[in-house]
Structure 1
């Protein structure tokens, strides 16, 4: 058997790229303020085993640091250096078991930090660096970071009689940092294209291998094998492989059921490459041929999805795109007789939500549901170049007795990753087919 081709990898981000991100954030901090960001730690899986380490997305965005048990202080205007890292010390015995550590010297020499200290010196040095800073910015959603910030302020408060000046207030760093993360630069977009291309190849592979008699986990195995083969060490989220009625469970992850002749299977899976997420959903017939009822429902979702993708342009809003999708899906449901009445009334009464429960889009980046506000001044925010989002309408038909038998238990979702460009949009996940004809043709061909 011929091994799958290996995709050429895009250029990795450099220490200078991460330094530039820190400088952009520092430029937004008020004079006299500081910012604290904390890494992920190791998480115990069971007894003496740990989950594979995955860096905190905010910490990675600012540092590129690949190790746990680290912290970053940003200190605008500090002459000795504005970017200070605290990290694990070099330890030959520990490194013999778990791998080489970069260490404080390496952090300065190769990773672009102005200064670095080991964690053994963290509490004492970090408190002294915060002495006199008026405000400390920290991510309020990060309990560990908040606890550290409070401990440092308490330490300085206890020394007020000796002249210490603790930060007077904490401020949430998320509005600054997450808005910066929302807009992707060209180097990020290259990594996201690669994650989407790997994800697309994995979906193609699942379509090619699908047949009655396999199980959902067989398709999951093919998908995740392709991720690993292409250098994506993990899925961006738990892969969803839902056959038959399981496709109607939005976050179905059991992936144990058999694949039966005549069913559709919905796969929602994406590779994580350089910590950036792919996120693709395709729905296809297990035996390679859509039945007529399946085709009718599928074409409704596909038409809505294609119109929504076309609507991704600068100035559009996710709310407006979602409203268009709801109108298209509701119109299709009326045409099939699954809803009765006037389309606008069915929308205003939320009658369509029996079949379509979720939103059409979310931001995509280092997190599969990425950061960044969806509104500005209380209004839906307009799209601008550099944003990356998903377009993922779906229909999920319950097995209720008032539903025509041929449609019961069918779940369909079609999802692509789309970047906003100055000229309109770029579909990052174009490498996997989604029309009925293209899917059937692919599944007829030999893998």
Structure 2
């Protein structure tokens, strides 16, 4: 499967409309193209909620979902019209006829007609749903409602309730269908191949961006045209910068290379991190930190099942990492007190994981408590990352010199199943033996 069946997007719309009350309307804007410089644009990325409900990947469109007083539903898509001259210069458009035929909406009109029709969709409705986080679109909604309000003396009725639709869509997106899981499994497979390639192509003296190019090449040659996010290719102490994306430094002997990179396939993201030695052989200190992080990751993943939560996993993982750092002499003191004081966060400085889907940091409520614990119980169909790490910058003079400059993160993508979990990240080497073995085969580099 290289994309979701278009019928799946109709099922997404139906699931949302089933949650809407009668006599309501929901509106979802598409993204617009963004200028990169002068008359060139960034690669287009569709608004994810709009995409989830339509599968439609053109800019400057609007989806209107209507639910009548008797529960009847209708979906209308406003989009750019067919335009022969534009299509010669900029590319083909789907147009209104194929929008109905192929995308399963009930009606489609040119986007320019929205101003003349929108009042009919809003007038008399008891509730209007739209995303409150999109301030520009919210301003447009209020402008349209003002036009409806002007006709009150002629009997028009203005909607009285405005509701944020984002949480409703987020709950739907959080639980993946079988087709979505299959697509994410494929995105992980492609990403795993890219991480293999990075290990095989890595050499002392190359630049980080050259390894990034190998990753992007592997994504594309397997059908994933774009990365899901800006790839992190961080050699040596750069690994201790969590969102390092400059990827501009040379790779040095006896240093580690941390790569956080995932493919986007038909809108769905993979998010994988691997850390390995630039020269193919871990030093003793690197090996000790790496094995600790790997064991912590596997401990957390093995505990995943319905009813588990990030909060519970954090207790398990933080205690394990704390003991490991004490055993290595990096943390000192009473183990119980160190765990209670969360001293491990000096070196494990980010969260254990996050939801994954159409967005890399995907939508969905974590049920965060007042002390910032993520209490939401896992359910079948949720997909998440598990990504413990230990980061010891060169500037940390409180530890022995052999530990300084080591940054290790290992990240897998996990789906919750009926009785446990499925690890999607299965073809990217992670044991010390497998990594060193693969890197020893550099002479058999991928063509």
On whether the aligned pair clears a TM of 0.5, the verdict is yes
Equivalent in the alignment of 2:400 = 404
Map 1:14-413; keep pairs closer than 5 Å: 14-77=5-68, 82-375=74-367, 380-399=375-394, 400-413=396-409
Q: Which moved more, 1:96-105 or 1:254-263?
A: 96-105
- Please report how far the alpha carbon of residue 97 of structure 1 lies from its aligned counterpart in structure 2 after TM superposition: 1.0
Partners of 2:383 and 2:415 within 8 A in 1? yes
Change in 2 beyond 3 A, CA 1:342/1:206 = same
What does the per-residue CA deviation read over 1:101-144, in whole Å, with 9 as the maximum and x for residues that have no partner?
11122211221000111111101212211111111111111123
SS of equivalent residue, structure 1 residue 380: coil
Map 1:424-439; keep pairs closer than 5 Å: 424-439=420-435
SS of equivalent residue, structure 2 residue 238: helix
- Please report how far the alpha carbon of residue 11 of structure 1 lies from its aligned counterpart in structure 2 after TM superposition: 5.1
Q: Structure 1: how far apart are the matches of 2:22 and 2:73? A: 14
- Please report how far the alpha carbon of residue 320 of structure 1 lies from its aligned counterpart in structure 2 after TM superposition: 0.8
SS of equivalent residue, structure 2 residue 384: strand
Partners of 2:25 and 2:64 within 8 A in 1? yes
SS of equivalent residue, structure 1 residue 268: strand
- Please report how far the alpha carbon of residue 276 of structure 1 lies from its aligned counterpart in structure 2 after TM superposition: 0.3
SS of equivalent residue, structure 2 residue 108: strand
Q: Which moved more, 1:320-329 or 1:217-226?
A: 320-329
Q: Structure 2: how far apart are the matches of 1:443 and 1:372? A: 38
Choose which of 409, 426, 442 in structure 1 pairs with 2:438. 442
SS of equivalent residue, structure 1 residue 110: helix
- Please report how far the alpha carbon of residue 24 of structure 1 lies from its aligned counterpart in structure 2 after TM superposition: 0.7
What does the per-residue CA deviation read over 1:386-422, in whole Å, with 9 as the maximum and x for residues that have no partner?
0000000000013222210000010000000000111
Please report the RMSD computed on the Cα atoms of aligned residues, expressed in angstroms: 1.4
Q: Structure 2: how far apart are the matches of 1:29 and 1:165? A: 19
Q: Structure 1: how far apart are the matches of 2:222 and 2:150? A: 54
Unaligned regions of 5+ residues in structure 1, if any? 1-9
Partners of 1:243 and 1:266 within 8 A in 2? yes
- Please report how far the alpha carbon of residue 158 of structure 1 lies from its aligned counterpart in structure 2 after TM superposition: 1.4
SS of equivalent residue, structure 2 residue 307: coil
Q: Structure 1: how far apart are the matches of 2:67 and 2:435? A: 54
Q: Which moved more, 1:393-402 or 1:219-228?
A: 393-402
- Please report how far the alpha carbon of residue 78 of structure 1 lies from its aligned counterpart in structure 2 after TM superposition: 7.4
Corresponding residue pairs, total: 438
Give the TM-score, by structure 2 length: 0.95
- Please report how far the alpha carbon of residue 164 of structure 1 lies from its aligned counterpart in structure 2 after TM superposition: 1.6
Give the TM-score, by structure 1 length: 0.95
Choose which of 395, 417, 420 in structure 2 pairs with 1:421. 417
SS of equivalent residue, structure 2 residue 32: coil
What does the per-residue CA deviation read over 1:352-409, in whole Å, with 9 as the maximum and x for residues that have no partner?
2211110101000000000000118987111111000000000001322221000001
SS of equivalent residue, structure 1 residue 53: coil
Q: Structure 2: how far apart are the matches of 1:337 and 1:300? A: 13
Partners of 2:25 and 2:121 within 8 A in 1? no
SS of equivalent residue, structure 1 residue 24: helix
Unaligned regions of 5+ residues in structure 2, if any? none
SS of equivalent residue, structure 2 residue 103: coil
Q: Structure 2: how far apart are the matches of 1:263 and 1:27? A: 55
- Please report how far the alpha carbon of residue 155 of structure 1 lies from its aligned counterpart in structure 2 after TM superposition: 1.0
User: Which aligned runs of 4 or more in structure 1 are off by greater than 3 angstroms?
Assistant: 78-81, 376-379
Q: Structure 2: how far apart are the matches of 1:12 and 1:367? A: 16
